[in-house]
Amino acid sequence: MTDQKETDDRILVADDDPVSRRVLEGLLKKWGYDVLIANDGLEALRLLQSRDAPRLAVLDWMMPGMEGVQVCQRVRDSTRPFMYLLLLTARSQRDDLVRGLESGADDYLTKPFDAEELRARLHVGKRILELQDNLIAARERLLYQATHDALTGIPNRGVCLDALRRERSRQTRQSGSFSIIMLDIDHFKYVNDTYGHPAGDAVLSEVAQRIKSSIRPYDTLGRYGGEEFLVVLPTADALGAVCVAERIRNAVEEKPISTSAGGITLTVSLGVAVSQAANAPDSEALLYLADAALYRAKVLGRNRVELAAAPQQAEEPAQPVSPAARSTIKAETS
């Protein structure tokens, strides 16, 4: 987020009268503002639409090129961050006040203005900007909490499933292929039972980071549940997906994970499923295929990558691995 003090202390003054500009500039600098000057409405709009635009502005109503009310309207029509706009004018009729506020101005001050009143109104503007920033920050925190796993910091199950559905929808429109990888930490119950849950948490966090470092920036990694992770690989075919899965497997296995209980050497088992446009399974079926491939990797000894059979090659529809079957596999080698 932009530094609050830097943002709030920058202000635009737009007035075509040089005497008024100098008076305003002198007052604002005396009050500690960093002042930008615009000589007409068009220049004011350009500055307010610039990348580093100030978020406070004092606009004269009558200016060449574009009136202050028109500048307000154009700013409000854009998607830029909220700005506090104060109109200065000699007009004092109620209809003028209504027109100015309806154009998008936040406040209205008639000329000749009282310096202390202007100062007070700008302080109100700064408080409103601060409240706006706090609301945006709170919303972003809530959104992050709703979409990310609290322990590992990576996206949660819902985000991964949304990515999977988007890829399936894209495939329907554009053809092509994509893949998913479902992986599980081998003997994770043993880690918790032997080293304690804090060590288990450290293992989950580090494994998530190693997976993240092994995939492409536009792939989606999420914690699927417990010690399971899901990776969605856009455009990846079987060969590419298996290569990514092997890279993940090697990254986890290659060196011990540091925890408060000491270094822990781990492996993961991975199931890969590929969706080809010619005979693409739906999202749920693709998850079942990856889950079955992961189960097979566990049965065949763990620390390996298994590729699911293509849907047209499967002898029967893919079925989810039951919780009981998963528990049996885990218990056999715990």
- Residues labelled as active-site residues: 227
Q: Please state, in angstroms and as integers, the Cα–Cα distance from residue 85 to each residue in 80, 121, 131, 221, following that order.
A: 13, 11, 16, 43
CA distance linking residue 133 with residue 140, whole number of Å? 10
Which residue do the tokens 């040089």 mark? Answer: 18
CA distance linking residue 265 with residue 242, whole number of Å? 23
Q: Please state, in angstroms and as integers, the Cα–Cα distance from residue 276 to each residue in 178, 280, 281, following that order.
A: 7, 5, 8
Q: What is the 3-state secondary structure (H, E, C) of the chain?
A: CCCHHHHHCEEEEECCCHHHHHHHHHHHHHCCCEEEEECCHHHHHHHHCCCCCCCEEEEECCCCCCCHHHHHHHHHHCCCCCCEEEEEECCCCHHHHHHHHHCCCCEEEECCCCHHHHHHHHHHHHHHHHHHHHHHHHHHHHHHHHHECCCCCCECHHHHHHHHHHHHHHHHHHCCEEEEEEEEECCHHHHHHHHCHHHHHHHHHHHHHHHHHHCCCCCEEEEEECCEEEEEEECCCHHHHHHHHHHHHHHHHCCCEEECCEEECCCEEEEEEEEEHHHCCCHHHHHHHHHHHHHHHHHCCCCCEEECCCHHHCCCCCCCCCHHHHHHHHHHCC
